[in-house]
Structure 1
Amino acid sequence: MSTINLDHLFKPKSVAVIGASNRPHSVGHVLMKNLLAGGFDGPIMPVNPRSQSIGGVLAYPDVNSLPVVPELAVICVPPQAVIPVMKCLAEKGCLAAIVLTAGLGSEPFDEKRSIKQAMLDIASEKKMRLLGPNCLGLMVPGIGLNASFSHQNIGSGKIAFVSQSGALCTAVLDWASARDIGFSHFISLGECDDVDFGDVIDYLGSDPDTRAIMLYIESIHERRSFISAARAASRNKPILCIKSGRFAEGAAAAASHTGALAGADDVFDAAIKRAGVLRVYTVSEMFSAAETLSRMRPFRGDKLGIVTNGGGIGVLAVDALIERQGHLAHLDPETITALDKVLPATWSHANPVDIIGDAPGERYAKAIETVLTDSNINSLLVMHAPTAITDPVEVARCVIDQIKHSKKNILTNWVGEATVAEARNMFYAAGIPTYRTPENAVAAFQHMVNYRKLQDLLMETPPSVPRDYTPQTDKARSIIHTAIHAGRDMLTEPEAKAVLECYGINTVKTIAASDIEEAVRTADDIGYPVALKILSDDISHKSDVGGVVLNLDSGEEVRAAALKMQRTIEQKFPNARLRGFTIQEMITRAGARELIVGMTTDPIFGPVILFGHGGVEVEVVRDRAMALPPLNMKLARELVEGTRIYKLLKGYRDVPPVNLEDLYMTLVRLSQLVVHLGEVVELDMNPLLADQHGVIALDARIKVTPKVVSDDKRLAIHPYPRHLKQELVMDDGTTYLLRPIKPEDEPAHYEFMSKLTPEDIHFRFFGSVRELPHSEMARQTQLDYDRDMAFLAVVPDGPEQGQIHGIVQVVIDPNNEHAEYAIMVRSDIKGRGLGRVLMEQMIAYCRRKGTETFIGQVLPSNRRMLTLCEKLGFSRKYIPDEDVFEVTLPLQRDAH
């Protein structure tokens, strides 16, 4: 993940084309033609040893003959010529290249490397950025750059399109050209061997010329960089994606129900939802959504009002809304009374507000004015069907005049084609979203609703974990390692339940017995009724083979059931090793729901948590939702609410609701288990019984591996870095808990801010700030620990337990070059050295992380901070235009 030298790729001042050609229809010919026709105002330097000029432009025989170092090189030579070209470009100092050539991975360069790997090694050594190979190229219309072999040029716009598929690029170009849609960037990634989605999203996220980012994704190579970049960028602008391969099946040989249920597309959905990316399913839907979201006003609710001159199109809109699980607003009685005064008596008297087919623009304006005052209506769809006695242009003009100052989101749908074309153009010109069909208009509204939900999820402060506890991680790992050392990759049911108990997850008492008589004695000890199950490493789903018998009421019944199980296994599975039986107490809870909770390991996004309808029919019902760990209580609730069974869990008729807090807590604790225990690759609890008293796992299955990778490579989202917690003792004896910030710290952060003087707030924010809005506070507390960090000094006990006395925070750029810091210490405890200790801790953290420079901006009047920076070895430089000192501390000087 890096934006190093991407300016040379996306904003070059000169371009060299290696492999330029005069041969018609060749890649080198089309590329030169596109570059020359695009209007790029920098030098374009074709390289071809056999031609004096290409397209009328002086050509050069080789890279070494170029008169200037090209900022961007476009390579379209045969595979065997790529490495000599790359070496020359690297020696000359070129820092960006587009490699159009395909097939480099299958061509050997030497005994150990393919041509592709040799190319990447050269680029890596010189920090040269590569787009491709096997790509279409890129276009940046704003600077006239068309460095592609596309069949047509494009206009300038505010939308960026990024695709792994060259074929889809050409199709989208045709689609957009026919609709006069322009782009800020049009990027074909190809094989993504260097520049990947994460790099491009990071770059475009801070690009002022890009208002929305659209992605076509076939696969994700760097999961954490993708999610980190998308989470950061999606806070500033909409990101939309289409994903191919939606119906690819998961692993057929999964050892658990969770593994069998977790399809690749479900996991992808969970990942992009966590990243704040909105998924769409067609190209036209993508462009429509991008246009809608980029023009969206602040969105405050999901209830839609409709004003129409045709009842039929209004009903179509309602049908589409309900089908998409949207919400139609109910009109207040006051609104209906007000509409009675301005509309014909035959109007619909409900939402949709049908103002009758002969409605002129004035009637539309009065109806819209009245409806927009209704607090139940958050957004409004204005619809019009042409009639012989109305003028769609006159109606559009009145609508535009009426809604141009509205703070609510307004969408329009003028049904038809030629008759309403001019009216649609008027809406386009006025910046008002307009759509051809009721279905498209409603889809656009739901895009706004879903996008707002994603943003709220990124910004929402999760509730604190209701019960504090310390998991027994070492004990759980010991159980797992015992199985691994015995050569097993599946824990026995008692072992699996013991691991779950280490994390506070409630399980039914289960005891293993090596033979039938021990099983009978164990059942006597537990007390009847009991459940009897086979114990075998070779049989995963016991109920499928008659290996589970419930409600046994005596020793005789246990003995008979065990004998029958043995005979069945010997006859049907002679090679299965039967280690004995497990006996557990019968749990009978009237009205309890059977759920499944588990995790599996996705090949792209790593561990993923599953929740859904459980029981023996789990794979038939297939009611489930997924989420990436780590989870908090808020994310756990979102996961549960994503299933159909959630409605039943809330209770109905005389069935009480289940204890949802206990269910959410179980999911959070499972998440912690997944984060802590990298040995666990698959797990499920099925069934997990849930009722008003809580949840309990009746069965458990855990698959493990001895090949544990680090969390940096295993988890798609960086977990809370609990290892950075430490006790801090000040010179005066005051003790603090120094720890990374959590999203749950937002309330305490507000309290901390209330203890700051106006002067301290001015020093921190360079202005007067009464109270930070929730969106800004969420940015400060909800960090991507991969690239940001904040340490709190928290009072560990006593009357002020949990209060924050100091905060130091850094924002680290994607290249890990600069860490920009900010620090605040509570005003009433200044002068005790806490600020210096916090700065030293953060400097040490950034130094360990490999960050090159620690920087900040300090107001000249903040003498205390300037003095501290001087003592810590910072240099400073006054910036007159901003009236601040920039302070800088090199962190890696010893390494050089």
Structure 2
Amino acid sequence: MGELSTLFAPEQVAVVGASDDDGSVGKAVTENLLAEFEGEVFAVNPNRDSVLGLDCFASLADVPVVDVAVVVVPPSIATDVVRSAGEAGIKNVVVITAGFSEAGTEGATRERELVELAETYDLNLVGPNCLGVMGTTVGLNATFSPTSARPGSISFMSQSGAFVTAVLDWASDRHAGFQNVVSLGNKAVLDESDFINYWGADPETDVILGYLEDISDGRAFIEATREVTQDTPVVVVKSGRTEAGASAAASHTGAMAGSERAYEAGLDQAGAIRVDRAEQLFDYAAALSGQPLPDSDTIAIVTNAGGPGVMSTDAVGGSNLELANFTDETLTALSESLPEGANIYNPVDIIGDARADRFESTLDTVLADDNVGMALVLACPTAPLSFQALADAVVTKQRESGTPVVTALMGGSSTNAAADTLSEAGIPTYFDPARAVDSLDALAEYRHIREREYVEPTTFPVDREQARAYLERAAERGTRQIGVEGMELLDAYGIPTPDGAVVNSPDEAIETARRLGERVVMKIVSPDISHKSDIGGVEVGVAQSDVRDTYEDLLVRAENYQPDATVVGVQVQEMVDTDTGTETIVGMTRDPQFGPLVMFGLGGIFVEVMEDTSFRVAPVSERDTRSMLDEITSAPLLHGARGREPADVEAIAEVIQRVSQLVTDFPAITELDINPVVATPDGVAALDLRLTLDTEKL
């Protein structure tokens, strides 16, 4: 992939399939380019002499110089056009044409050919099946959208072309402007990570927005976004919050993960701000592009209306912000300046007869308070109040203080001129106070993202060759499901396990039990029986005298439960004192987009009932694992709730990191559960294992 600057700011654009037929995409794209584009437009159509006053070229080979080729020909010849673009030395190709991977097997074959051509000729290829691209610095509208983007500092990408047209129409009424707009389409070559990387380095882009239905390469997205968000916020609507595919999973982790868990973890680790609605997307963009970041998460509210003040207070309660506690000096100043009946505490109600000057003096006092990180000015229309004078005052005080301020002007057309004044100064205006609070919350969230310190994952000394040898032996046997018989895999990666062995006769069981102590744990070992406890397949505290009978009983129970189950043997394991410990689970499922998704949570037999879990995309760092431990609802159990001695959380964190390293090293491991991992004050012990292996990936 080459530099994308000429994609969004070209000097010459050729429309292959240009047309003057009413209703055609070729006509719409050509008209849009002729309307505003500052460079040259070339029409390519071998069946026409001219289109919309432009002389037609028979092919791209005949056009002198082209920065961007826009392809709107039928899918059957689109690949030939892309090949001709590559042969002509054109580096940017926008394939608007549909009929590729979204259209079945034949279309998927065409799309693979596009990818091969892009690799051969080093093409920046957008699409196929897309609306096109826009670059406002040169008036570029290489789309068939009926609305062009207004100039601004937002760069916007969307996987839905229809969403782009809706957003542009909506934004034109609200004076929202864009630097670049791209419809991603099928993302055959260029995807969201490519544009994030480019816009992150673009000084004219203040905020990156995206509507995404999926992410092509989760790891690339995390790495790109994590770096870019140090300077440029990324706000994303990710549609499709389903957990499709979880029902087919073999492990506890897989059953509880689903694609949504992976996206939640991936977007968070990337530092992207995720929103649920299109309105939030642009609300947040307005604040992030126009206001400085707050020094704290505290908010002051200044209002001339009690009811809306309560509404905004409720919104703060539902956010990650908190109402600022004013200093005594601030309270004294407000008491002296405000009339009787005003409320000097936060939210500050300066009552309904307030003019703009009262707003101004109150805001001046509040913004001078070191306990105030940001402010909301909330005003309803009254006879004494001039919204325009209020807007002028807010602009002045925000600039003087350097503190982020947003406004909620709860009126109709009477607020329009004031809203324009505020917008020109980068101060967002909303009708709903809750939207204003949410936007300030986004500023605070981005500040926290900027303050994150990325820590490289620890690489532990492990016996990778021992682990590989074990997995290869399993693959040679055709084994896909591995249970407790695979504990040596955990041993190879330094994950503490109890002493024990898998045995195949009562005599072996007795011999192993004598070595391990007076009482032992015995478990049926079968890759076909997932929940051993449900069938009586686990016996705890077996005395030496009962080992033989227990061995026979376990085999009978397995036979009765599932006669065709493969039974590897019986595991005899040393007892672990669980009375002083907490049963946890460490697991992994491999997500199609993000790769290994590591889980930690409350474990034991009720793990899927409780679903008290946290997830991260591997590889995870020590900092990631500490966050995972704190996120679960039952975290107090680990830290010594109700007089319990705290568990060894350092040891738990290390187990999670070692599992992360294991599943990163071996992509053939598609699912894994270590349940339970018993966490005690003196360390941890992994008591059971279930692993799914893709033998073709070894």
Fold-level similarity (TM above 0.5)? yes
Q: Does 1:642 align with 2:621?
A: no
Structure 1 residues 371, 590: CA separation in 2 closer, same or farther (over 3 Å shift)? farther
Q: Does 1:701 align with 2:696?
A: no
Listed as ranges, the matches of 1:555-566 within 5 Å are: 555-556=545-546, 562-566=551-555
Give the whole-Å Cα distance in 2 for the aligned partners of 1:122 and 1:589.
60
2:28 — aligned with what? 30
1:135 — aligned with what? 130
Residue 280 (structure 1) aligned to one of 275, 281, 303: 275
Residue 449 (structure 1) aligned to one of 444, 451, 471: 444
Residue 507 (structure 1) aligned to one of 497, 502, 518: 497
Give the whole-Å Cα distance in 2 for the aligned partners of 1:291 and 1:185.
16
Q: Does 1:538 align with 2:533?
A: no
Give the whole-Å Cα distance in 1 for the aligned partners of 2:104 and 2:321.
53
Structure 1 residues 326, 247: CA separation in 2 closer, same or farther (over 3 Å shift)? farther
Structure 1 residues 390, 594: CA separation in 2 closer, same or farther (over 3 Å shift)? farther
Counterpart residue type for residue 489 of structure 1: R
TM-score by length of 2: 0.92
Structure 1 residues 127, 565: CA separation in 2 closer, same or farther (over 3 Å shift)? same
Residue 602 (structure 2) aligned to one of 596, 601, 613: 613
Cα RMSD after superposing both structures? 2.9
Give the whole-Å Cα distance in 2 for the aligned partners of 1:156 and 1:137.
17
Listed as ranges, the matches of 1:412-491 within 5 Å are: 412-457=407-452, 459-460=453-454, 470-491=461-482
2:57 — aligned with what? 60
1:672 — aligned with what? 661
* Contact 1:63-1:89 at 8 Å conserved across structures: yes
Deviation at 1:162, TM superposition (A): 0.9
* Contact 1:361-1:399 at 8 Å conserved across structures: no
Q: Does 1:686 align with 2:684?
A: no
Any idea what the Cα deviations from partners look like across 1:819-849, whole Å, max 9, x if unmatched? xxxxxxxxxxxxxxxxxxxxxxxxxxxxxxx
Partner of 1:481, secondary structure, is: helix
TM-score by length of 1: 0.72
Partner of 1:455, secondary structure, is: helix
Deviation at 1:267, TM superposition (A): 0.8
Give the whole-Å Cα distance in 1 for the aligned partners of 2:131 and 2:681.
58
Counterpart residue type for residue 484 of structure 1: A
Deviation at 1:159, TM superposition (A): 0.7
1:629 — aligned with what? 618
Give the whole-Å Cα distance in 1 for the aligned partners of 2:525 and 2:609.
25
Deviation at 1:367, TM superposition (A): 3.1
1:7 — aligned with what? 5
Deviation at 1:266, TM superposition (A): 1.4
Counterpart residue type for residue 379 of structure 1: M
Structure 1 residues 606, 547: CA separation in 2 closer, same or farther (over 3 Å shift)? same
Any idea what the Cα deviations from partners look like across 1:344-376, whole Å, max 9, x if unmatched? 454445433333343333333343333334333
Partner of 2:93, secondary structure, is: strand
Structure 1 residues 386, 697: CA separation in 2 closer, same or farther (over 3 Å shift)? farther
Listed as ranges, the matches of 1:351-390 within 5 Å are: 351-390=346-385
Structure 1 residues 244, 469: CA separation in 2 closer, same or farther (over 3 Å shift)? closer
Deviation at 1:493, TM superposition (A): 0.9
1:550 — aligned with what? 540
Partner of 2:605, secondary structure, is: coil
Deviation at 1:563, TM superposition (A): 4.5
Give the whole-Å Cα distance in 1 for the aligned partners of 2:569 and 2:527.
10
2:483 — aligned with what? 492
Structure 1 residues 479, 427: CA separation in 2 closer, same or farther (over 3 Å shift)? same
Q: Does 1:165 align with 2:160?
A: yes
* Contact 1:598-1:685 at 8 Å conserved across structures: yes
Give the whole-Å Cα distance in 1 for the aligned partners of 2:465 and 2:105.
47
Which 5+ residue runs of structure 2 have no aligned equivalent? none
Any idea what the Cα deviations from partners look like across 1:456-514, whole Å, max 9, x if unmatched? 22x3568x97xx96323333333333333333223331423x32233332233343232
Deviation at 1:148, TM superposition (A): 0.9
Residue 44 (structure 2) aligned to one of 42, 47, 65: 47
* Contact 1:637-1:664 at 8 Å conserved across structures: yes
Any idea what the Cα deviations from partners look like across 1:314-362, whole Å, max 9, x if unmatched? 3322322332343333334444344333334544454333333433333
Give the whole-Å Cα distance in 2 for the aligned partners of 1:103 and 1:230.
31
Give the whole-Å Cα distance in 2 for the aligned partners of 1:695 and 1:118.
52
* Contact 1:480-1:491 at 8 Å conserved across structures: no
* Contact 1:600-1:607 at 8 Å conserved across structures: yes
Counterpart residue type for residue 54 of structure 2: V
Give the whole-Å Cα distance in 2 for the aligned partners of 1:694 and 1:373.
51
Structure 1 residues 646, 74: CA separation in 2 closer, same or farther (over 3 Å shift)? same
Q: Which moved more, 1:389-398 or 1:447-456?
A: 389-398
Structure 1 residues 706, 388: CA separation in 2 closer, same or farther (over 3 Å shift)? same
1:403 — aligned with what? 398
Partner of 1:247, secondary structure, is: coil
Deviation at 1:440, TM superposition (A): 0.6
Which 5+ residue runs of structure 1 have no aligned equivalent? 710-896
Partner of 1:330, secondary structure, is: coil
* Contact 1:475-1:502 at 8 Å conserved across structures: yes
Give the whole-Å Cα distance in 1 for the aligned partners of 2:646 and 2:657.
20
Give the whole-Å Cα distance in 2 for the aligned partners of 1:296 and 1:171.
26
Give the whole-Å Cα distance in 1 for the aligned partners of 2:325 and 2:499.
52
Counterpart residue type for residue 70 of structure 1: V
Structure 1 residues 565, 268: CA separation in 2 closer, same or farther (over 3 Å shift)? same
Give the whole-Å Cα distance in 2 for the aligned partners of 1:460 and 1:101.
41
Deviation at 1:189, TM superposition (A): 1.7
Q: Which has the higher contact order (CA 8 A, sep 6+)?
A: 2
Deviation at 1:648, TM superposition (A): 4.5
Give the whole-Å Cα distance in 2 for the aligned partners of 1:74 and 1:455.
38
Partner of 1:74, secondary structure, is: strand
How many residue pairs get aligned? The number is 697
Question: Percent of pairs identical after alignment?
Answer: 37
Q: Does 1:73 align with 2:69?
A: yes
* Contact 1:256-1:541 at 8 Å conserved across structures: no
Give the whole-Å Cα distance in 2 for the aligned partners of 1:643 and 1:688.
15
